[in-house]
Each structure stands twice: as structure tokens, then as C-alpha cells.
Amino acid sequence: MARKTLLVTGASSGIGAATAVMAAEDHDLALHYNSNAAGADETAAAARAKGARVTIHRADLSDPSSVPALFASIDQEHGHLDKLVNNAGVVDQAQPVTAFTPARVMRMVSINLSSPILVAGEAARRMSSGGAIVNVSSAAARFGSPGQYADYAATKGGLEVFSKGLAQELAPQGIRVTAIRPGIIATPIHGKGGDAERVDRLAPSIPMRRAGSAEEVARAILWLLSDQASYVTDTVLDVSGGR
Ligand code: NAP
């Protein structure tokens, strides 16, 4: 069977990297990254070892105007797309809302919401024979993340509402749109937000008494992308150990 072409944003690390490597079994890949070129190269090497044709594309999604250039570069290499995992995202230092700065909130909204909306639109335009989009939300959209990053939670809530609208809009064209809500997952994101101990600290409070792995989230994403989920659209899947 012909390989489908999948774009994974934020494929240089964590959930995006795990998803890309797993998808390489039966997809060709456009891998996006921003700062971690070595991570993107590592993901690409693991994916190529599974037989995938892999290209790498850099874009800083804190500037939503970088999205058209990202797709111009994907067009040059692939010409079309079948699937998207809209995964790139950031947290920030744990702070109360009263301490937030305009720079912090604008960066958060750009990377986690504005750019993913534009990425989904550009991807959908290239899905000429149906397709699948998985937007990576967070359990934070259910909790609100008070005292930590309520701005992050708000961007993920926004992404879920966007997923709903997009799913309804694209269903007649055979493009399925879903969202996934990881809980506490052991990836570098917590350290980048200045709290590397967060996973170990919160693990005992999770009903399953442990953090999830990037691979456990990737498996759920791969199912949502696959024909096994052919009648699944406009839904949000929690992958959060019961949290
Ligand atoms: P991660 O390991 O830190 O990976 C984040 C990815 O996003 C990296 O590939 C990074 O690229 C990319 N990224 C960050 N800033 C960017 C920017 N300015 N422009 C473009 N790309 C940028 O984190 P992760 O845990 O795998 O997170 C992946 C997704 O899962 C995120 O949307 C996150 O909100 C969500 N999530 C994670 C958890 C968790 O507990 N880990 C829970 C719920 C939801 P570079 O490194 O190349 O810059």
C-alpha cells in the first residue's frame, strides 16, 4: 500500500519525536522543529531506519507569519499531505496570572494556538483525497492550571474548540479532525518550563500512580490517524492515567 505523507510539528523531542518514529513504519514524514536541530536529526535517522522518506523543516512558531514559509518548504519536498499531528507546544514558568507579562502570554498564544490554527488550515488545503488531523491539547484544558500556567491551559482549551469547528468544517471532505489530551507525560517540556521535578512530584497523585511515556501518547495518536479510526472525528481522547 502507498505510504501516506504525515507532517509532525515539534518532532525534535518528546511526544512529537515518538509519534514520528512510530509513524515511520508506514508513513513518509515531514518533520518540523525550531531550535533542536540535533533532536530533529535523531528523529529523522530513526524514521529512515524504518524505511520512511523523511524531510526536515525549521520554523519558529512563536511567529505565526512563519507558517506559510514552512509549507512552501514542505511543498517543494512532498507536493501534498495526507495527515498532520499539530504537536509543537510550550509551557512557561509556574506563575500566578497576576505575574504574567505581555511577552509571556503572546508567545504562549502564538506557539500553542495561533500557529496551530494556521498550520491546520495550510495542511487541510493540501489534503486533496481526505486526511486526518490530530491536535495535541492537554489535560490542562480540563483543570485550568491555576497558579502554574493558566495561559497554557487557555491555549489548549482554545485548540479544542478550534478542533471542533475544524472537524465539522472538514468532515464532508473526508478529513477527520480529533484532539488528544495527554496528562503528565515524562518529556523534556517540564524542565524547559523550569520544573524538571514536576513529573516525579505529581506521579503519586495520578490514579495510575505514574507518569505516562511519550510512546503511550504516540500510540493513541497513531490510532486516531489510522483507518482503524475511520468513523472518529470531532472528539477529544484523554491519555492521562485516569487524571
Ligand atoms: P517537548 O519535548 O518540549 O517538545 C516540544 C516540541 O515543540 C519540540 O519539538 C519543540 O521544538 C517544539 N517547539 C517549542 N517551541 C517552539 C517554537 N517556538 N516554534 C516551533 N516549535 C516549537 O514537549 P512534549 O511534552 O513532547 O510536548 C508536545 C506537546 O504535548 C505540546 O503541545 C504539549 O503542550 C503537549 N502536552 C505535553 C504534556 C506533557 O506532560 N509532556 C502534557 C499535555 C500536553 P524545538 O525543541 O526544536 O525548539
Q: How far apart are CA 132 and CA 144, in angstroms?
A: 28
Share of the chain above pLDDT 70, in %: 100
* pLDDT tier for residue 2 given thresholds of 50, 70 and 90: confident
* pLDDT tier for residue 120 given thresholds of 50, 70 and 90: very high
Close Cβ partners of 83 (under 8 Å, ≥ 6 residues apart): 4, 5, 6, 7, 27, 127, 131, 132, 133, 225
Measured in Å, residue 9 CA sits from the centre of ligand 1 at 9
Q: Which protein residue has the closest C-alpha to ligand 1 atom 46?
A: 36
Q: At what angle do helices 150-170 and 102-109 cross, to 10 degrees?
A: 30
Return the C-alpha cell found at 210.
505514574
Q: In terms of DSSP H, where are the helices of 49-149?
A: 67-78, 102-109, 115-125, 140-143
Query: Average pLDDT for residues 177-206, to the nearest whole number?
Result: 96
pLDDT tens-digit map of 220-241:
999 999 999 999 999 999 999 9
Closest CA to 112 of 215, 12, 189, 44: 189
Cα torsion 187, 224, 22, 89: sign: negative
Residues with catalytic roles: 152
CATH 3.40.250.10 fits 4-239, yes or no: no
Phi, psi of 24 (to 5 degrees): -65, -15
Most ligand 1 atoms within 8 A of CB, residue of 15, 117, 152 to mutate: 15
Share of the chain above pLDDT 90, in %: 99
Q: How far apart are CA 10 and CA 15, in angstroms?
A: 8
Most ligand 1 atoms within 8 A of CB, residue of 31, 187, 197 to mutate: 187
Measured in Å, residue 88 CA sits from the centre of ligand 1 at 5
Closest CA to 86 of 140, 58, 123: 123
E strands within the chain? Answer: 4-8, 27-33, 54-58, 83-86, 131-136, 175-182, 235-239
- For residues 41 and 69, is the Cβ–Cβ distance under 8 A? no
The DSSP element (H or E) to which 222 belongs, if any, is helix 214-225
